[in-house]
Chains A and B, each alone.
Chain A
């Protein structure tokens, strides 16, 4: 955790000197990079995967970068100040890792035109504010195919943090994947309205199991779904990190997020002086989305199929949202032979046929 150096010294150098504190002189070419997280640091989940992104930068650039991480910035009022402080203290590249940090970043970025801001899961782009995002649905589709093969009841259970497009879309993809191998598959979906609420999530997981689901997936910041499935002897799919330790028998695979390429691209842009604001949105192709090793309970031939499917999606040969797709009311939303346009994927706010639940 001790990533930062005595950055605060700049602001109060005179006072510090007067008090006889050691004044640390930094090498002039060290580039300062900041990261702001809405949630606390953790061993698994969203924040952990972003911490790995920072680690990738440190591994590549070593002493040439200096990193400051600020955790647990829950509210926008505080976020705005923290981004400002980071920028004012000479950080040249600042990552915001939660959607909720968007508005503050949009307010601060224009005041510091020389600083590169990178917002994960953001929707607004400015001259010096870029965004990066993962194609979660690619991974969830493959996980859905695995679930379709393995489910006995044909009922899946999905627990989501919030009913936002980044979750609703992957939930649909999960079922579409399952339906691609058994057309009768259905999926019950519950939203917690929280990323981290283990008690509530456990309740939701148990409720889904009671309704007959035998494969659970939780797009939250915990391992609760995988763990619950393990306890109840049913199957599960992990998300964000490989959650095998929570369910060595239950986890079929996990949709692992690996932001290293995004972090490294942004860092190299800043180090080389050619950073520009971009919209990064990648999945299997750039390795931002990866499947955790498939569990041995999946037959070997199915595992091979899944691996091939990953490659097909990466190459574009297969598209998870390929028509024909109907919504829950039976309307055709994607015609046969076409795929859902990117703009619609990024604003997904409807459920496909076979999904039971509401977007609250």
Chain B
């Protein structure tokens, strides 16, 4: 791995912004064919560093060498000329034209579309990308669009590919596919810089990792050797508090009772729910494990009331709610954190104050047909403070927040409603390691104060940490609950049965995945 000259070498890169040092004397190296992770929490300086490498931002100090030659002040155009390409988190494709036309737009010189189409097909085949050059981008899924972006970079024959949080928008299956592509690319000698805060992914994919915290390098490790805990400690800087799970007494009668719930699948990727029976008592946290797409979203919307099924038995504190719309259920004490934050859990173009009213209306943020702005602002500010949401304040638009911060806000909002029943899907998805453990503690505390909590999550570690009982939802069917103490990765993995519980990069064997 230690070649004579490394592909990319950074020495003492420093970037200061008023009041903050974004990058403080960062030194790292990447060899040809190496997949190198830049690991760190939000705000650790990852993105700034990548922009410096790509040339979108100039460093105040330090040196960048690419293939041994120092890069002075350079522009992104210059970078691309050298073979440095970057795939952003948000895509920049024209939806109304075809894949080939999109790619043609960033090619130099005159191009024959049919010839380009052939090149696209060849390159796609070589790396196992599923890209049809004639398809209109509008018809592509998010994962397919990302493949187009990557392919666009690949056509430039890059020597260094930078990916900024590429999996934040992908479904688990698509993540596996992405990793295969990246491995094939590395095998061909392309270096990859992989920015992430997801420990599992980094451990599954990367050969080496540089951990950043507050703009400084806190570790250079081989992620395959380090444990998740060790990596997390490097990222957060202190030993992480384990969630405290005080003993609890659960209510005799369940708060949520679901009997023989069946539901038709939503859309192409949905799964039919059959015969779900589930109880959640006050004082306990019940988890639902399993890979998304096995009925998770169907279950969540049936419980929240976004889909109505008057035929199934759903009871909240003994009252039938199966026929009630979401607002009526909310008024009875149900709170819900959906998987999608922007556009569902929050209105993107509305301020945090306005987004407080979205569900806070059940707690007096709307009264006598009027919106109570002062109360909503106070509520929003309190939530921002209590859950350390990084934002300019209650007036900031929801879409100005990072995914993790918005998740904290939505979770905080729902928790602040003091619900009788909290349903949370992927509660810590995209949230920093440190903040995630704080949020988990809050969820447990809520249950210990007498509420019923149902967590739907793909992350087994999370469920094992905070749940009193865990079901597995697979193929639209719910397994029997395994109590805390008896629940292990292996057992849950077995329950998942034939359905593969993919953890990123874990290959085909679920038991392998369960082992780490």
In the complex they form, whether A and B have CB atoms below 8 Å apart is answered with no
A contact residues vs B (CB 8 Å cutoff): none
B contact residues vs A (CB 8 Å cutoff): none
